[in-house]
Structure 1
Amino acid sequence: MEPTVIGTSEFIKAYSDGSVERFIPEIAPASLDLYAGYKCKDVTIDPLKPITARLFIPTAAATTTTTATKPPSLPVIVYFHGGGFCIGSSTWLGYHHFQGNLAAATESIVLSVDYRLAPENKLPIAYEDSYASLLWLSEQMQSDTWLQDADLSRVFLSGDSAGGNIAHQVAIRAIRDTQCPVRVTGIIPIHPYFGSEKRTELETKVESADEVKSNDMFWSLSVPEGSNRDYDGCNLERMTVLKSEWNRFPNVLVFVAEFDFLKERGLEYAEFLKRKGVKVELIETKDERHVFHVFRPNEEVTRLLLEQMNEFIHRI
């Protein structure tokens, strides 16, 4: 019996036998040529799983030569792409341009991680793969010339949608790992993707039916077998985190967009962290929708977002 389609979205189709069909948009090759203030290359975090990433460095690092005066060290941004844990890649054209611009605008080294995707690799695999990238940074720093100016005491975790969720989870893992070789200074979730079995006000509206159905599909594909949207990677209130761990949680800058279907979840996330005693800043982008920066990486509204990220990174 042929499997039937149980859910579709712009970039994925899910079937009743648990398989999916992905539709890949235009991708960008890595380039060692200096372009728009940065250059990039693809790296392998773990060849056996596999986990890969795209590494971006800004002009300041890309043009460095050995001199008597060493330039100041650069902060590192570890970025996790969105896509409901099921789609997305650092190589997608929109992500490539945004992350390159991020490296240039913030004068930071950007490591964009391609964690393994669900449903073939259900959560918490995306969290584990993403945390492995922090260990890789430390291991490679001495041998990879692109990382020679990386300041691992100033590491920022960022990501959009599901990637914002991952940034949160990786921060918790870094706190719990007493041998973690990097210091997470701050996290910057952009339109973070959380949920629960309990619907928000927007999710109960008739006009939200299509978006609710799409979100439910992504969660059903990504959470562990036997779990639902109250899985602790989805529902903030189900996460078991000690008070002592919240006391060590890094500063957070949360971005939401005015017309984003997930805006309520982002606002809930910011309030949740505040109740835990975490220092949180919230910025709402007016007149915009979910992950606009990926679809329009070179427009003025995205340049403003980059400026806001830059200000946060160099202030704390």
Structure 2
Amino acid sequence: MGASVIESSEFIKVLSDGSVERFTPERAPPSLDLYNGYKCKDVTIDPLKAITARIFIPSTAATTMLPVLVYFHGGGFCIGSTTWLGYHHFLGDLSATSESIILSVDYRLAPENRLPIAYEDCYTSLIWLSQQKPTDSWLQNADLSRVFLSGDSAGGNIAHHVALRAIRDQECPVRIIGIIPIHPYFGSEKRTELETRKGSTDEVRSNDMFWRLSIPEGLNRDYDGCNLEQMKVSMSEWSRFPNVLVFVAELDFLKERGVTYAEFLKKKGVKKVKLVETKDEKHVFHVFRPDSEPTRLLQKQMNDFIHSV
């Protein structure tokens, strides 16, 4: 008798024998040839833990020191990859637009690797970055005193937690000066207005499933990786938190969570927090439509932030 399905959505199926089947869209291979003002290659951050990444560099990389943006993909901590076609084109174009080096990290996924493993893997990428800079020609012009963390959905959540780890690690080898969460993914046992609205049943069910699969077993959505109010952060740590640019989308089921995140940071005394709303767009539209005008605007706004800090 075969394994039965214990969790299921259009994106993921978890079977009773522990195996997982994931939605896999079209992928893009790396290209060492210059294309649209950038080129990219794949690297291994930790072969023992299967942490990999894709580096994007702009055509200007050989001539000047460049800021570094470390990007964490979304997918409810359970699906996603920097190799997905949408991420590849969005980040490649962003590298060229912002004239920045981008390290896009493929961390280990839940439910096989529950939180906080994604946070640990992504923080490891910062250590790797500093260790590889002296020997990797693609990183020789990386300015590790101007590092930004970004990510969409779950990746926005990861960017927040990696920033906190960098603040707490007195030996962190890079200087994070800004984070750019796009449609960040937080939660709590308490429902938002959108989550209780008539017609939201399917979205709530899917959202709950991803949290159920990703948080440590035995805990609920008030886990401190999920619920902002449960995070134990001192005022001294908040005072050292980097500048933040938060993006939300008008038609996103998770919009309230992003707005609450920006307000939460301001309340904690984070010096510079800006909230930008994209009208008439849904969750992670930039991944599904990387060539659209709203995505181009998003890239320009990210570029302006990167070069204003």
**Would you call these one fold, judging by a TM-score over 0.5?**
yes
Q: Distance in 2 between matches of 1:200 and 1:301?
A: 26
Q: Distance in 2 between matches of 1:258 and 1:196?
A: 21
Q: Distance in 2 between matches of 1:139 and 1:287?
A: 43
Aligned residue among 294, 297, 301 for 2:290: 297
Q: Distance in 2 between matches of 1:146 and 1:251?
A: 27
CA drift of 1:3 comes to: 3.9
Structure 1 segments (4+ residues) deviating >4 Å:
none
The CA deviation string for residues 228-286 of structure 1, in whole angstroms up to 9 with x for no partner, is: 10110000000000110000000000000000000010001000000001120000000
Match of 2:280 in 1: 287
Match of 1:67 in 2: none
Match of 2:81 in 1: 89
Match of 1:264 in 2: 256
Kept in 2, the 8 Å contact 1:19–1:119? The answer is no
Residues matched between the structures, number: 308
Match of 1:167 in 2: 159
Q: Distance in 2 between matches of 1:9 and 1:252?
A: 33
Match of 2:55 in 1: 55
Task: Tell me which amino acid in the other structure corresponds to 1:271.
Answer: E
Q: What TM-score do you get using the length of structure 2 for normalisation?
A: 0.98
Q: Distance in 2 between matches of 1:205 and 1:300?
A: 30
- SS of equivalent to 1:230: coil
Task: Tell me which amino acid in the other structure corresponds to 1:48.
Answer: L
CA drift of 1:12 comes to: 1.1
* Pairing 1:81-120 to 2, within 5 Å after superposition: 81-120=73-112
Match of 2:304 in 1: 311
1:35 equivalent to 2:48? Answer no
Task: Tell me which amino acid in the other structure corresponds to 2:146.
Answer: R
CA drift of 1:2 comes to: 4.4
- SS of equivalent to 2:60: helix
CA drift of 1:13 comes to: 1.6
- SS of equivalent to 1:154: strand
The CA deviation string for residues 97-140 of structure 1, in whole angstroms up to 9 with x for no partner, is: 00101101100000000000000000000000000000001000
Q: Distance in 2 between matches of 1:264 and 1:9?
A: 23
Q: Distance in 1 between matches of 2:8 and 2:298?
A: 30
1:250 equivalent to 2:246? Answer no
% identity of equivalent residues: 77
Q: Distance in 2 between matches of 1:135 and 1:178?
A: 13
Backbone CA RMSD of aligned residues: 1.0
Q: Distance in 2 between matches of 1:30 and 1:72?
A: 23
Gaps of 5+ in 1: 65-70
CA drift of 1:75 comes to: 0.1
Task: Tell me which amino acid in the other structure corresponds to 2:148.
Answer: F
